[in-house]
């Protein structure tokens, strides 16, 4: 005990908190705290001397006492309190000799924060009633009335308290009834006992009728039946034992003496208890055979249930045959119904609505199908058991099926409904079997966007229907909820509308279908909708249309084959026989591609079966016709072959060919590859026949083995011929003389290929390599020469496009500004011309390097070529000078189509009492002529190219050419090619007149001297001068205009002003004089 100053009032309560021990139970603690006091009205208040609660904590392991003034915190866990109450006077039930003992002033007990019936029952039975009934402080009338109500309350409280534990207990009041006869005369006590007896009667009656109530339980399984009879047996046995207790016997004896009318019904029920106990034991004995199978059933998965049901049915048949209770049809049908309930419960436990609406549809479908199969198998096994019972000659099972299978049939139908919902999600919501959402298909064509939009609307409408089902306020799997039928019918009506929408979308998508491939792709998109009958008919119709499209194409192939079989439309590079077969093979692949597309669509195998067979028959007939044609063409080609065809290789490698020239009226002779065309056709035909899968004869295989060898040789000879012919084609007659030595050298190398070497000669590699090398070098040199000449031509065009004057239309120039402007422009143009000339010079020097080491005749031809370039440059310079002068002439004289615009700005100046133009016409003519002369003088910066080339040739070569020109009357030409030498028995010599040779002297006139003295240039020059002078009369007339104002500068102004001032005119006269004069 712990003394504490807060214990100031006897009404204080001491609260003992039981704390949980730790894991090793090494530490325990207890605490005591003072509670608030209560005043006369029962209102709590705190001790004035101690304003806070005090709490002592005693730690048993460390023997320490700690004071805590904080209020204890109570959790929601169960809290038990042991209390100790001190009273002012000794307790009444304490013996006299112990009234001075310490313990006579205290009584204790235990309560908890548990507000359950058990806690109340313990409190009432252990403390409260005992203290009240044993006390004498209450008035007799109050105590009597309280006892009557208290006994009734305790009877009900006892019933409920033990009923929660699964047992029935008859409440026996604590009354002094040792003398039954004397007690029978106490009417109040008899009345209380009768009320207790009535309560017992009601309890027993409820237990007896409890069997019928259990039959009404909807979802109970067979194990619940076994548990019911087990608990009933325990309950009835317990009541039977209680009826034999002395307390109950005494109460019955008192009521017998009191001749109570309530005793007879109680005795009848007591007999029923005896009989019910025996029946429960018998039923439990029979039902125990079901314990094992039913426990196995309660743990089984739906797929395993069919294996367990035969054992359960065998046990039930035995119970039907042996048990008196279950011989009644309603009892056995109830037991069978509980088996159905257990099957439903097991199947229902495996179904996840979340998986159905949002998860793995595949697993949900499998579970639902298993549940449906399980229900159907259970029903079938029941009928099998009915048949066995009938065969064995035992009492038949003439039960009403609906009483057993009503719930099962409803559950199977509910599973079928959910299965349809799962299937509809794969159809309308793009949900795959694993629950993920599939990729939205893409549609092409003009109707593609409308089709996609229609499918999106269908999917959106379906998701609304699913959302409604997913958020129903009840359990869909509960077959007792009839609201499901209305909600599911609403879903089905929505699905009907979606079916119509799908059919419309399918029809829209097929409006633009023109090929089998596109149609199959569309059907593969829509076929997953075809699980519904209306959509299935639409898909079947579209499949038939697709096969009709294929049949129409077969007919087109037949018509195309019939038209082209005699003259097939061949590609120019295809051989005749194999090309025809290849054309037919294309028709074969065309129809094969379509039939493979149709056959590859496995999802369409169950549609359009009739037209499918017709299309298949026509396909095989067409294929047979086309394949027969290919075999025929191959046979005819083999018959046309000559086994000695390799003898055609004994021909020269190269031959000559005359071709009509576009530049000359006469034909020109070129080289040609001389490989035999018959062998080429054999090579070509063999290649295609192999690709078509045909077996070639041995001699054709031998020829084909040589194809690669002769292909390489043929291509090399072709390159030689191509380069040689290209040299002849691109060079003009003058240019051929420039390359005469190179052409003669190529003729010498190529000549064996035209005369002695054949395709089967031994030493072909040396000839091919050398001729290929030399023709390639020569062709490259010629191409570079032509490229340089093209660049020279381009530069000459640049020169001709240059303008030496820069005058804008309809702009008036001050003369000094015009002169400065033109000077700057001429400088830029001169720099441009010099740059162009420099590039031409570099090109000529680079070109000459090719011919530097050639003979004097070639050098002379190069000088001719240089003269040609000089003429090109001269012509370009002439054009630019002429164009520039014409531009200025046009600005001064006009073009004859429009009025001449002013060009020069001229000032009228009063000088020495005379009006003059500055500059004057004569000065303007002089300035414009100077501008023209300077424009022409710009080309002085461009010398002749021949002077540059002569420097490159050197003085020795130039002197040799001069001497040759003076001592020879003609120069022999050997620029004829091998072709001309082959065409003629002897080589003819051509001669060039000396007059055509270029001048090798350095005294040639410059471009400036030639162009500036040309008559046409001088004529433009004169035209410009005359154009300016033609304006003399206009200027003279303009000057005469100022004569009427001559008196302004000739008269004495001071004298005139003084004379007018002396007249002293008025303002009106002054104004009039001004206006008149």
Rg (CA), the chain: 66
The answer to whether 187 touches 215, Cβ cutoff 8 Å, is no
pLDDT of residue 496: 93
Which tens digit of pLDDT belongs to each residue from 505-533? 989 988 888 899 888 888 888 888 888 88
Half-sphere exposure of 614 (CA within 13 A, CB side): 14
806 Cα distance to chain centroid: 64
* 117 compared with 221, residue with greater pLDDT: 221
Instruction: Find the mean pLDDT for residues 267-284.
Output: 81
pLDDT computed for residue 342 by the predictor: 92
Residues 678, 681, 682, 688, Cα dihedral to 10°: -170
pLDDT of residue 590: 92
Query: H or E stretch including 815?
Result: helix 815-851
- Which of 111-125, 264-278, 767-781, 837-851 is predicted with the least confidence, judged by mean pLDDT? 111-125
Residue with the bigger pLDDT between 997 and 883: it is 883
CA nearest 182: which of 110, 269, 254, 74? 254
Instruction: Read off φ and ψ for residue 951, nearest 5 degrees.
Output: -65, -40
Helix residue ranges per DSSP H, 216-304? 222-243, 246-257, 263-287, 291-299
Give the pLDDT confidence score for residue 36 in this predicted structure: 37
pLDDT for 67 equals 57
Which token pair is 217? 């339980």
Residues in the chain: 1077
What is the C-alpha to C-alpha distance for residues 79 and 73, in angstroms, rounded to an integer? 11
User: Six-digit token pair at 715?
Assistant: 């291509």
pLDDT digits (tens, 9 = 90+) for 343-395: 999 999 999 988 888 867 888 899 999 999 999 999 999 999 999 888 888 88
The residues near 841 (Cβ < 8 Å, ≥ 6 apart) are 945, 948
> Which pLDDT band holds residue 722 (cuts at 50, 70, 90)?
very high
- Residue pointed to by tokens 């809290």: 79
pLDDT at 862 > cutoff 80? yes
Task: State the pLDDT at residue 73.
Answer: 53
Instruction: Give the percent of the chain with pLDDT over 70.
Output: 79
What confidence category does residue 965 fall into, taking pLDDT thresholds of 50, 70 and 90?
A: low
* Lowest mean pLDDT segment, chosen from 59-68, 549-558, 673-682, 860-869: 59-68
Q: Answer whether residue 1006 shows pLDDT above 70.
A: yes
Residues 808-829 have pLDDT tens digits of 777 777 778 888 888 888 899 9
pLDDT tens for 207-257 read 777 665 555 556 788 888 888 888 888 888 887 788 888 888 888 888 888
As a whole number of angstroms, the longest Cα–Cα distance in the chain is 189
pLDDT of residue 768: 92
User: Which is more confident, 968 or 12?
Assistant: 968
80 strand-pairing partners: 112
How far, in Å, are 152, 174, 204, 243 from residue 171 at the CA level?
Answer: 9, 10, 12, 11
Q: What is the mean pLDDT of the chain?
A: 79
The residue-averaged pLDDT of 144-166 equals 76
Q: Which long-range contacts (CB under 8 A, 24 or more apart) does 920-924 make?
A: 921/1028, 921/1029, 921/1031, 921/1032, 921/1035, 924/815, 924/1028
The answer, yes or no, to whether residue 667 has pLDDT greater than 70, is no
Q: Using the predicted structure, report yes or no on whether residue 47 has a pLDDT greater than 70.
A: no
Structure tokens at 694: 């045909």
State residue 930's pLDDT score: 82
pLDDT category of residue 98 using cuts at 50, 70 and 90:
low
DSSP 675-743: --HHHHHHHHHHHHHHHTTPPPPHHHHHHHHTHHHHHHHHHHHHHHHHHHHHHHHH--HHHHHHTHHHH
Tens-digit pLDDT profile for residues 571-586: 888 889 999 999 999 9
Alpha helices, H only, 445-575: 448-470, 483-509, 516-526, 533-564
Q: pLDDT over 90 for what percent of the chain? A: 25
Does residue 185 have a pLDDT over 80?
Answer: no
> Could you give phi then psi for residue 660, rounded to 5 degrees?
-70, 125
Res. 986 pLDDT band, cuts 50 70 90:
very low
Of the listed ranges 25-34, 169-178, 410-419, the one predicted with least confidence: 25-34
Conformation bin of residue 1051: beta by default, left when phi > 0, alpha when psi is -120 to 50 = beta
Task: Give me the pLDDT at residue 975, please.
Answer: 37
528: left (phi over 0), alpha (psi -120 to 50) or beta: alpha
- pLDDT-derived band at 177 (thresholds 50, 70, 90) equals confident
Supply the pLDDT for residue 262.
82
- Is the pLDDT assigned to residue 425 strictly greater than 90? no
The whole-angstrom separation of Cα 67 and Cα 54 is: 7
The answer to whether residue 32 scores a pLDDT higher than 50 is no
Say whether pLDDT at 639 is over 80. Answer: yes
SS (H, E, C) 374-389: HHHHHHHHHHHHHHHH
Assess whether pLDDT exceeds 50 at residue 985: no
State both tokens at 314: 């065998």
Whether 185 and 171 have beta carbons less than 8 Å apart is answered as no
> pLDDT band at residue 749, thresholds of 50, 70 and 90?
very high
Task: At 706, list the tokens.
Answer: 């040589």
Cα distances (angstroms) measured from residue 467 to each of 429, 438, 1054: 12, 19, 116
Task: Please report the pLDDT score of residue 265 as a whole number.
Answer: 81
Measured in Å, how far apart are the chain's first and last C-alpha atoms?
151
755 pLDDT higher than 60: yes
CA angle 455, 458, 463 (to 5 degrees): 125
What are the C-alpha distances in Å from 991 to residues 270, 518, 525, 857, 983? 160, 77, 86, 12, 20
Residue 842 or 1030, more confident: 842
Whole-structure pTM over 0.85, yes or no? Answer: no
Q: Which two tokens stand for residue 900?
A: 């001449």
Q: What is the pLDDT of residues 1008-1066, one digit of tens each?
A: 888 888 888 888 888 878 877 776 667 777 777 777 777 667 766 777 788 878 888 88
pLDDT reported for residue 416: 93
Q: What is the mean pLDDT of residues 55-62?
A: 46
Residue 13 confidence (pLDDT): 33
**Residue in the block written with tokens 């290209």:** 726
Q: How far apart are CA 455 and CA 450, in angstroms?
A: 9
Torsion from C-alpha of 23, 29, 34, 36, nearest 10 degrees: 0
Query: Is the pLDDT score of 855 beyond 70?
Result: yes
How many angstroms separate the CA atoms of 335 and 1067, rounded?
146
pLDDT at 1001: 43
pLDDT at 559: 93
| Confidence tier at 308 by pLDDT (50, 70, 90) | very high
The whole-number average pLDDT for the span 283-290 is 88
Half-sphere exposure for 161 (CA within 13 Å, toward CB): 20
Q: Which are the contacts of 411, defined by CB distance < 8 A and separation ≥ 6?
A: 344, 347, 348, 371, 375, 477, 479
Cis ω for the linkage preceding 405 (within 30 of 0): no
Comparing C-alpha atoms, which of 876, 845, 885, 884 is closest to residue 862? 845
What are the tens digits of pLDDT across the range 460-485? 999 999 899 999 999 999 988 889 99
pLDDT at 839 over 90: yes
């Amino acid at each position: 005990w712990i003394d504490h100053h807060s214990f100031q009032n006897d009404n204080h309560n001491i609260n003992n908190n039981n704390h949980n021990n730790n894991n090793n139970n090494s530490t325990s603690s207890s605490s005591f705290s003072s509670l608030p006091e209560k005043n006369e009205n029962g209102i709590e208040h705190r001790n004035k001397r101690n304003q806070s609660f005090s709490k002592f904590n005693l730690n048993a392991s460390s023997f320490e006492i700690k004071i805590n003034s904080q209020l204890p915190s109570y959790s929601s866990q169960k809290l038990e309190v042991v209390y100790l109450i001190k009273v002012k006077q000794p307790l009444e039930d304490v013996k006299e000799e112990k009234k001075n003992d310490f313990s006579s002033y205290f009584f204790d007990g235990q309560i908890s924060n548990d507000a359950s019936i058990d806690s109340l029952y313990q409190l009432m039975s252990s403390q409260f009633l005992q203290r009240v009934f044993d006390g004498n402080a209450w008035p007799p009338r109050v105590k009597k009335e309280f006892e009557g109500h208290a006994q009734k309350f305790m009877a009900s409280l006892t019933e409920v308290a033990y009923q929660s534990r699964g047992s029935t207990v008859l409440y026996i009041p604590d009354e002094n009834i040792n003398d039954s006869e004397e007690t029978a005369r106490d009417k109040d006590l008899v009345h209380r006992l009768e009320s207790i007896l009535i309560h017992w009667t009601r309890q027993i009656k409820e237990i007896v009728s409890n069997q019928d109530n259990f039959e009404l339980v909807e979802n109970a399984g067979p194990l619940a039946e076994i548990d019911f009879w087990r608990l009933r047996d325990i309950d009835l046995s317990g009541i039977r034992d209680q009826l034999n207790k002395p307390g109950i016997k005494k109460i019955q004896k008192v009521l017998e003496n009191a001749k109570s009318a309530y005793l007879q019904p109680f005795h009848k029920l007591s007999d029923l208890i005896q009989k019910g106990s025996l029946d429960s034991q018998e039923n439990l004995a029979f039902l125990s055979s079901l314990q094992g199978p039913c426990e196995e059933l309660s743990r089984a998965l739906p797929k395993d249930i069919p294996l367990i049901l035969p054992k359960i049915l065998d046990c039930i048949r035995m119970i039907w045959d042996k048990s008196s209770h279950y011989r009644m049809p309603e009892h056995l049908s109830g037991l069978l119904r509980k088996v159905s309930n257990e099957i439903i419960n097991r199947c229902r436990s495996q179904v996840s609505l979340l998986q159905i609406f949002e998860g793995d549809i595949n697993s949900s479908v499998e579970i639902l199908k298993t549940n449906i199969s399980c229900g159907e198998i259970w029903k079938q096994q029941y009928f099998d058991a009915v048949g066995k019972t009938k065969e064995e000659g035992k009492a038949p099972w003439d039960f009403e099926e609906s009483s057993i299978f009503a719930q099962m049939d409803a559950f199977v139908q509910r599973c079928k409904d959910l299965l349809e919902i799962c299937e509809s999600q794969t159809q309308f919501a793009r949900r795959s079997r694993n629950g993920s959402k599939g990729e939205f298909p893409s549609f092409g064509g003009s109707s593609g966007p409308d089709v996609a939009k229609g499918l999106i609307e269908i999917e959106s409408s379906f998701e609304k229907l699913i959302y409604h089902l997913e958020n129903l306020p009840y359990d869909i799997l509960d077959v007792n909820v009839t609201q499901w039928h209305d909600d599911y019918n609403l879903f089905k009506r929505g699905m009907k509308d979606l079916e119509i929408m799908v059919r419309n979308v399918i029809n829209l998508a097929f409006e633009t279908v023109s090929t089998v491939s596109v149609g199959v792709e569309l059907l593969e998109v829509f076929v997953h909708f075809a699980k519904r009958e209306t959509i299935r008919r639409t898909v079947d119709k579209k499949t038939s249309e697709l096969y009709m499209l294929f049949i129409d194409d077969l007919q087109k192939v037949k018509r195309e084959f019939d038209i082209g079989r005699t003259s097939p439309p061949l590609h120019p590079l295809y051989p005749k026989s194999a090309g025809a077969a290849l054309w037919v093979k294309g028709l074969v692949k065309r129809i094969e591609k379509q039939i493979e597309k149709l056959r590859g669509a496995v999802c369409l195998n169950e549609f359009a079966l009739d037209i499918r067979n017709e299309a298949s028959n026509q396909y095989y007939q067409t294929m047979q016709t086309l394949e027969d044609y290919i075999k025929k063409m191959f046979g005819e080609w083999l018959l046309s072959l000559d086994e000695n065809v390799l003898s055609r290789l004994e021909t020269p490698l190269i031959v000559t060919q005359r071709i009509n020239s576009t530049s000359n009226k006469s034909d020109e002779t070129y080289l040609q590859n001389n490989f035999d065309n018959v062998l080429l056709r054999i090579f070509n035909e063999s290649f295609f026949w192999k690709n078509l899968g045909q077996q070639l004869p041995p001699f054709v295989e031998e020829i084909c083995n040589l194809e690669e060898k002769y292909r390489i040789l043929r291509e090399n000879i072709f390159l030689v011929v191509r380069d040689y012919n290209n040299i002849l084609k691109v060079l003009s007659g003058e240019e051929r003389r420039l390359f005469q030595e190179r052409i003669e050298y190529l003729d010498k190398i190529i000549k064996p290929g035209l005369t002695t070497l054949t395709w089967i000669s031994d030493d072909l590699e040396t000839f091919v390599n050398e001729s290929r090398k030399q023709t390639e070098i020569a062709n490259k040199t010629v191409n570079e020469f032509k490229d340089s000449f093209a660049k020279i031509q381009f530069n000459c065009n640049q020169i001709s496009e240059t303008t030496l004057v820069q005058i804008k239309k309809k702009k008036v120039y001050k003369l000094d500004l015009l002169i400065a402007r033109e000077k700057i422009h001429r400088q830029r143009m001169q720099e441009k011309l010099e740059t162009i000339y420099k590039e031409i010079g570099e090109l000529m020097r680079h070109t000459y390097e090719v011919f530097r080491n050639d003979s004097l005749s070639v050098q002379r031809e190069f000088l001719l070529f240089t003269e040609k370039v000089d003429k090109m440059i001269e012509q370009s310079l002439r054009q630019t000078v002429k164009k520039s002068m014409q531009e200025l002439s046009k600005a001064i004289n006009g073009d004859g189509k429009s009025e001449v615009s002013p060009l020069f700005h001229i000032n009228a100046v009063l000088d020495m009492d005379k009006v003059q133009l500055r500059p004057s016409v004569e000065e303007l003519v002089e300035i414009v002529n100077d501008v023209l002369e300077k424009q022409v003088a710009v080309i002085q910066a461009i010398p002749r190219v021949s002077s540059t080339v002569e420097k490159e040739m050197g003085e020795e070569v130039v002197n040799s050419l001069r001497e040759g020109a003076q001592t020879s009357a003609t120069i022999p030409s050997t620029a004829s090619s091998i072709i001309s030498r082959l065409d003629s028995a002897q080589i003819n010599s051509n001669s060039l007149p000396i007059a055509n040779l270029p001048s090798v002297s350095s005294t040639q006139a410059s471009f400036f001297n030639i162009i500036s003295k040309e008559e046409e240039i001088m004529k433009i020059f004169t035209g410009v001068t005359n154009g300016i002078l033609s304006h003399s009369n206009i200027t003279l007339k303009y000057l005469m205009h100022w004569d009427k104002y001559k008196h302004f500068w000739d008269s004495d102004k001071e004298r005139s002003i003084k004379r007018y001032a002396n007249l002293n005119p008025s303002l009106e006269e002054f104004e009039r004089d001004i206006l008149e004069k």
